[in-house]
Amino acid sequence: MTTQQLNKILQPYWEEGWDGYCRFDDGWADLVHECHLNILEIDPKYKINQIKEKFGVLRFYYQNDPEIESNKIDDIIQKYELKSASTCEMCAQKGYLCKKKYWLKTLCFECSSKLGFEKNEKIINVDSYLSNGYRKDDNH
């Protein structure tokens, strides 16, 4: 699936006032689609604010039905944000956090070479970073 195809599927779920487009490359489209389907099982009325790449990993911001416990949705989203940290954003193969000057992106070796990125050795454990409450201080 491409990001363009995903955008068409997600169109009815975008919160009014948001641009309604995913801001990441095609390698994460299937990942986000699977996340969306899992959220729908819990809250078919949820609305998307933003879905984007930030600091090399997926970010998914939403509004849920007030009757639905948001922790369940947060757990689903965190699962897929963690998966994005090891999935190439370009081709969906096994990826690593890479850098190009101050720009971070999760890429496989082949895509990182094509785009001029290098594996980021300074961030040792992205899973730990993501699972230790990074969202608390994360501004859109």
Q: What are 77-116's pLDDT values in tens digits? A: 999 999 999 999 999 999 999 999 889 999 999 999 999 9
d(CA 64, CA 125): 30
Length of the chain: 140
What is the pTM for the complete model shown? Answer: 0.83
Amino acid at 61: Y
Distance between CA atoms of residues 117 and 35, nearest Å: 27
For residues 57 and 26, give the distance between their C-alpha atoms in angstroms, rounded to a whole number: 14
CA distance linking residue 121 with residue 111, whole number of Å: 17
